[in-house]
Amino acid sequence: MLTSTFYTQLAEICPGNRCLTRAVDLLPYESDALTAFRATPGAVVLPETEAEVIALVRLCHQAGVPFVARGSGTSLSGGSLPIQDGVVIALNRLNAILKIDPEQRTAVVQPGVINLNISKAVAKHNLYYAPDPSSQSICTIGGNVAFNSGGAHCLKYGMTSNHVLAMRVVLPDGEVVEMGSESVEGMGVGPDLIGMFIGSEGLFGIALEITVRLLPIPEQYRTVLAAYDSLESAGNAVAAVVASGLLPGAMEIMDKLALKAAETAVQAGYPAGAVALLIVELEGEAEQVEHEFAQLIDVIKASGAYEIQVAETAAQRAKIWKGRKGAFSSVGRLSPDYVVQDGVVPRSQLGKALAEIERLSADYGLAVANVFHAGDGNLHPLILYDGRQPGALEHAEAFAGEILKLCIALGGTITGEHGVGMEKRAYMPLLFSETDMDAMYAIRLAVDTKLVANPGKKLPSDEAPALKLHGMHPLEQAGIISRE
């Protein structure tokens, strides 16, 4: 509970207008990009230094007050939703790029740094930061770490976890620890603490400094658009490209609704009348790219595409990606509300998954705009509904749940990069066994004994099934965890 003494202590750490408590000031923080969930925090604090963040975390731990770290609030799973009457620690002012090492190809950044700003800062060294979420022009690296964000080019380059070398972290009890090494060679020494922290959705504390790996800017790009008369055909084309042995930098699919929205917003010049559009991008050394390009065109022609376009200039390529990365927000032009899902299926099951989503769309009477990372089977169906209609949100969420169950049934999982957050907690036991869930809870309790770091997210509750069903957990009996 937030007491007057606690409020006074907050204001001492972040004085003046950096400690927000008035209802009108708290309103912008009541939700993240998943606006169906809302909660009013007791306070929002705006630290400007690492020392202030540490002091805030220690204060919350001592008082038993829950907190959530927040960057730009672009989470699509409710992961940065405030804790009712808790504290939001907004990290946007910790936005410095502290160090750039062109020789080692690394950069050290604070959590509030915008993803795209890293690439802008290191471009003069012919380097860039590879993970590129659709929201990369506004999302922060701290949030990328929390949710292990990927992006359009994750097929070739992987997720955030593949590009973070070291971190300084404040744990939920206020202890500051160092993880990893600035050297790539040192990454294999000891337990993979970075791998555990990345994607933990704030349950293990707050990253204060993050050392990221940089890559050379590719010498050449080849970006190809292929139009299809069915989603299933486009999905099968992805499997054909992968089966050919090619490893594109990106493979993306957009359906007719997503294309309509993107064209309205961006006028990207996508093929008219396409039911589905496949974007494939090759990148690397010029000689290799040209060789792969010839092979790719043969595969695309054989896949049943009725129109193929190739970006001939950097401006054309930029326009293609502007349309794709703006697709989520552009869909707002088609519907007052939508639910976006984030399930994953094996690439070999893409065609089947898309056909089943189309069937579910008809059954539920709700239109779906599909736009997703086809290369790694990461589906992003946007279910359109009108939240002004009674029961419409619940109906859309039921549809979304069917898609998650479908992903699990096809050998996939419930999230590729958006995280579990508030939205998908109930589906965790469908994906993981009770033993798996118990292990997750045990680690959670070991790191955060008071459960103050972003409680209520990712796990269905803050108590393990074995604790509820069988009394004392074996790890508790051994003194490894404590419920006090």
SS3 state of residue 429:
helix
pLDDT for 38 beyond 50:
yes
Query: Among 81, 78, 85, 109, which residue's Cα sits nearest to residue 95?
Result: 109
Question: Residue 2 belongs to what H/E stretch?
Answer: none
* pLDDT value of position 462: 62
Angle, CA 64 vertex, CA 61 and CA 69 arms, to 5°: 60
Last residue of a domain, one of 186, 216, 246: 216
Q: pTM to 2 decimals?
A: 0.89
**Spatial distance between the Cα atoms of 159 and 164, rounded to a whole number of angstroms:** 9
Most confident of 324-333, 375-384, 464-473, 475-484: 375-384
CATH of the domain at 415: 3.30.70.2740
pLDDT for 68 beyond 50:
yes
DSSP string for residues in 17-40: GGEE-SHHHHGGGS--S-TT----
Query: Among 378, 348, 152, 355, which residue's Cα sits nearest to residue 239?
Result: 348
Q: Structural domain of residue 443, as residue ranges?
A: 432-477
| 190 contact partners, CB below 8 Å, separation of at least 6 | none
244 shares a domain with 210: no
Task: Taking residues 420-437, report their average pLDDT.
Answer: 92
127 shares a domain with 58: no
pLDDT for 481 beyond 50:
no
- Sign of the CA dihedral 381, 387, 389, 393? positive
Mean pLDDT of the chain: 90
Task: Taking residues 189-214, report their average pLDDT.
Answer: 94
Size of the chain, expressed as the number of residues it contains = 484
pLDDT for 479 beyond 60:
no
Could you tell me the CA-to-CA distances from 196 to 59, 177, 202, 231, 449 in Å, in that order? Answer: 25, 14, 11, 36, 17
Domain for residue 483, yes or no? no
* pLDDT value of position 3: 93
* pLDDT value of position 467: 45
**Spatial distance between the Cα atoms of 282 and 271, rounded to a whole number of angstroms:** 20
When divided into structural domains, the chain yields a total of 5
Task: Taking residues 29-45, report their average pLDDT.
Answer: 92
Task: Taking residues 164-168, report their average pLDDT.
Answer: 97
Task: Taking residues 27-48, report their average pLDDT.
Answer: 93
pLDDT for 476 beyond 60:
no
Domain for residue 245, yes or no? yes
pLDDT for 475 beyond 60:
no
Strand ranges, E, within 266-378: 276-284, 307-310, 337-340, 368-373
CATH of the domain at 21: 3.30.43.10
Last residue of a domain, one of 191, 216, 241: 216
* pLDDT value of position 40: 94
pLDDT for 480 beyond 60:
no
Confidence of residue 92 (pLDDT cuts 50, 70, 90): very high
Domain for residue 452, yes or no? yes
127 shares a domain with 21: no
* pLDDT value of position 185: 62
pLDDT digits (tens, 9 = 90+) for 292-310: 999 999 999 999 999 999 9
CB 260 within 8 A of CB 370: no
* pLDDT value of position 323: 86
296 shares a domain with 308: yes
Task: Taking residues 54-62, report their average pLDDT.
Answer: 98
Confidence of residue 189 (pLDDT cuts 50, 70, 90): low
CATH of the domain at 113: 3.30.465.10
Confidence of residue 474 (pLDDT cuts 50, 70, 90): very low
Confidence of residue 79 (pLDDT cuts 50, 70, 90): very high
Which residue type sits at 264? T
64 shares a domain with 171: no
* pLDDT value of position 133: 92
Task: Taking residues 209-215, report their average pLDDT.
Answer: 98
pLDDT for 473 beyond 50:
no
Could you tell me the CA-to-CA distances from 272 to 276, 367, 378 in Å, in that order? Answer: 10, 20, 25
* pLDDT value of position 181: 85
167 shares a domain with 73: no
245 shares a domain with 305: yes
Between 374 and 217, whose confidence is greater? Answer: 217
Between 459 and 480, whose confidence is greater? Answer: 459
Query: Among 210, 239, 227, 237, which residue's Cα sits nearest to residue 98?
Result: 210
171 shares a domain with 70: no
* pLDDT value of position 190: 73
pLDDT for 391 beyond 90:
yes
CB 112 within 8 A of CB 88: no
